[in-house]
A and B are shown apart, each in its own frame.
Chain A
Amino acid sequence: MAEVVQTPRRLARVAMLGNPNTGKTSLFNSLTGLRQRVGNYPGITVEKKTGVMQLGKGEAELIDLPGTYSLAAASPDERVVVDVLAGHVSGTERPEAIVCVVDATNLQRNLFLVSQVAELGIPIVVALNLWDSARKQGLNINVELLSKRLGVPVVPTIGRTAEGLPQLRAAIVEALEQKPLMTRIQWPESAARAEAELRAAIPEKIRAQLKELEVQRLLFDADSPIIERVGWEHAEARRLIDEARKHLWDAGVNPLAAEALFQYAHLKEILDGVVLSPEEALPRGSESIDGILIHRFWGLLVFVGMMFVVFQAVYAGAGPLMDLVDGAKGWTQDLVGPWFESMPMLQSLVTDGVIEGVGAFVIFLPQILILFLFIALLEDTGYMARAAFLMDKLFNWCGLNGKSFVPFLSSYACAVPGVMATRTIEDPKARLTTILLAPLMSCSARLPVYVLMIGAFVEPQLGSFWAGVALFGMHFVGLFVAVVLAFLFTRFLIKTKPQPFVLELPAYHAPRIHNVVYRMYEAGKEFVQRAGTVILAITIIIWAMLYFPRPADLESNETKAFAAEQAQAAGISEEEAMAAIEADEELAAALQARIDGAYVDPRLLGRLGKGLQPIFAPAGFDWKITVGVLASFPAREVIVSTLGIIYSLGGEVDEESGSLREAMRHETWDDGPRAGATVFNLPVVFAIMVFFALCSQCGSTLAVTAKESNWKWAAFTFVYMTSLAWIGAVVVYQVGMMFL
């Protein structure tokens, strides 16, 4: 009897590859639906995303490879692509077919990568994605002719709407079954001889580990990581590669530019007559606008002007909405407070702690929405890429390049994705420098701190125009310090070499409302989620630390002392004074304020703040600001809710004082050389803002810094930023006081 052996079902493996911004991820999501798995490639931080896609009656595993412009593996992402395609990654078998996603509006540049991949000898399917954009631009692509010339299936797709997906699935099945190979470039004699000579010269032990494509990469790429991977002695590798390259030099071709020259000539032939009306499709409008926007002088002027308008709008535009949120907070306190009349402790927790603390944070939601409205508009129109291009010169001066500006720009929203965006930087040292400096960019969590200080003190004294200027200036403090530090770091701490910077400038187009609204929604959702989770938790803990312990006899002692003072002043008995206090609302309020103030002394956070205040005294901070600063180390925006609770529990924020801003304006020094003077003058306000601009006050950012480098560098980031913040705050305060 024949035995039936059950073997685990093995799925065909298909890799998806393409340049960044080709809509590859949308296409991957459409093909796999929810059947995805996310992990990491072994030993590195590059994410591995796989999914299962339906192919007719069967299924296949689809691997979404990181976006890359070429196979010249420089960055960790690009190295992963080469290693996966060559089958060198453990746990990831070599794919049996490759779906190359190309941007139909930019065929020649996108096909460069496809042409490189063709050297692997793996069946290929070309997905002409962004087909709708190509049509809108008036491009007329002869898909059949292109497919015939390439020798592989070519399928127009629109990843966003899943158009062309059935045809793409059919083409993948065809590729897996019929294994069509793409027409490969006929290398000129110089390149072919150079490759043959190098192949012959590579020691047998090393050659056995190399795929055909990798010999080419050794020949064409500068400092290929393949040398290290195969354990080839570096000096010998260099010598043999240079010898082989002589054939290219003899033919008058720079070896490092040879591949691009030959491949583009090859692609020009393939695309001849395929794209029928490319002239009409050229974004001429974009070119003429770029004449100004990426001009070394006018471009910078426009950039600074545009940022100025953004921050003026963020500041001025949010006022009415903030009043609305503030009103809702007061209304909620009035509504909820009486429910807990018989439980004063719980009432304090709910009204002075939760509602006051979380409300003081949520009030800044309008600013966040307006800021992200502008960020989304600038990104969606294609301007942000120009900003990165503009910064390349400045960054080159300080040892980085425009590639570092992209993570810096991301960090203006949040440093966590900003630090992760450094993965596109090839040079490990330039990448590390960017990781260390990205947290200095003014993230959206700093915005509430700036707006609170500027709204309470700068605007009333200097007017709304200068308030906008101050907000604009604060957003540049971090960038300015980062440029100076990059100069120092790259010369003395992490020495880097100048790197070339290649950036795709997308055509300008009108912003899509959906994208803009979605970006605002995401930012708003995250902000509110933080308010309801981490901020709420910290708020409750801070309330407890400011509420307890409560000595049982403190209230009666303070009442007796107050009555005695009143009796002595008015020449009446203490009983009469008590009756007068009960009858007079003003006296009763004064007594309550005295009791609230007296409770602060024995409280945990009060003690801690007063104990540590001398450290921050040179920056003009009192114990309440000190408490706010200490509470803000896990997340900087916590200072707003902390100050809200401190002033609320201290009795300063109530129906009459109206708001936290009012309470802060009336805060005075109890003792010391400035006794009686207001705590918050302009030098103190700017010292606080500079401290928050430079300090490392985000646990998540330190965690991601450790993830992308190690905990040693995360500790370094914390120490250098916090020291810098203290020094900056002290300098601002001391210099400011000289002029006051």
Chain B
Amino acid sequence: MNALQWIELTVVALIVGGAVCYLIVYVRDVIRFGSSSSGKGCGTGGGCPSCGTDGRDAAE
């Protein structure tokens, strides 16, 4: 592999790795949101990581 191919592979690996990390954090936030009935808040700012709904508006 030449230098350009190494650079290309590195950039692609970083992008794919970043996407995987983002998805892991997203899934973690979703699980936290689902486990937040303890009354301590979900640790994600109170809203659903997917749509931001905080529950109060929905309930009213």
Which residues of A approach B to under 8 Å, CB–CB?
20-21, 25, 38-47, 49, 66-67, 77, 342-343, 345-346, 349, 410, 414, 416-418, 420-421, 423-424, 526, 530, 533-534, 536-538, 540-541, 544, 634-635, 698-700, 702-708, 710-711, 714
Contacts and interface: CB of A to CB of B under 8 A. Distances in A.
Given A45-B55, A424-B59, A541 B20 contact: yes
B33 A345 contact: no
Contacts of A530: 50
B51 A536 contact: no
Contact of B59 (A43, A77, A541, A710): A77
A20 B58 contact: no
A534 B55 CA distance: 22
A710 B12 CA distance: 40
A423 B60 CA distance: 9
Contacts, number: 136
B55 A420 contact: yes
Given A416-B51, A534-B23, A346 B46 contact: no
B33 A704 contact: yes
B39 A700 contact: no
Contacts of A414: 50-51, 53
Nearest to B57: A417
10 contacts: A20-B60, A38-B46, A40-B39, A40-B40, A43-B39, A346-B12, A541-B23, A635-B50, A699-B50, A700-B48
A77 B55 CA distance: 11
Which bucket holds chain B's interface residue count? 35 or more
Nearest to B32: A703
A420 B53 contact: yes
Residue among B22, B33, B58 with the highest chain A CB neighbour number at 10 A: B58
B53 A25 contact: no
8 smallest CB-CB distances across A and B, nearest first, come from A703-B34, A700-B50, A420-B58, A417-B58, A706-B34, A540-B19, A423-B59, A537-B19
Contacts of A540: 15-16, 19
A541 B18 CA distance: 10
Given A414-B53, A541-B20, A711-B34, A346 B8 contact: yes
Nearest to B26: A534
Nearest to A42: B39
Residue among A349, A418, A699, A710 with the highest chain B CB neighbour number at 10 A: A699
A45 B49 CA distance: 17
B46 A47 contact: yes
B interface: dominant SS? helix
B51 to A, nearest CB: 5
A451 B52 CA distance: 26
Contact of B19 (A77, A343, A423, A541): A541
A87 to B, nearest CB: 18
Nearest to A39: B41
B31 A703 contact: yes
A41 B39 contact: yes
B50 A416 contact: yes
Contact of B55 (A47, A526, A541, A699): A47
A40 B36 CA distance: 9
Contacts of A342: 4
B34 A67 contact: no
Contacts of A343: 4, 7-8
Nearest to A20: B60
B60 A707 contact: no
A200 B4 CA distance: 90
B34 A702 contact: yes
A40 B41 contact: yes
A434 to B, nearest CB: 13
A711 to B, nearest CB: 7
A649 to B, nearest CB: 14
A206 B42 CA distance: 35
Given A38-B54, A45-B39, A541-B23, 15 more contacts: A39-B46, A40-B41, A46-B59, A343-B8, A345-B8, A423-B58, A537-B20, A537-B22, A538-B19, A634-B27, A699-B27, A700-B49, A700-B50, A703-B48, A706-B34
A703 B58 contact: no
B56 to A, nearest CB: 5
Nearest to A417: B58
Contacts of A417: 51, 53, 57-58
A699 B27 CA distance: 8
Contacts of A77: 59
A49 B56 contact: yes
A711 B35 CA distance: 8
Contact of A416 (B4, B26, B41, B53): B53
B57 to A, nearest CB: 7
A533 B36 contact: no
Contacts of A47: 46, 54-56, 59
A724 to B, nearest CB: 22
A534 B29 CA distance: 12
Contacts of B49: 700
Residue among A534, A704, A710 with the highest chain B CB neighbour number at 10 A: A704
Nearest to A342: B4
A47 to B, nearest CB: 5
Given A416-B48, A537-B23, A707 B40 contact: no
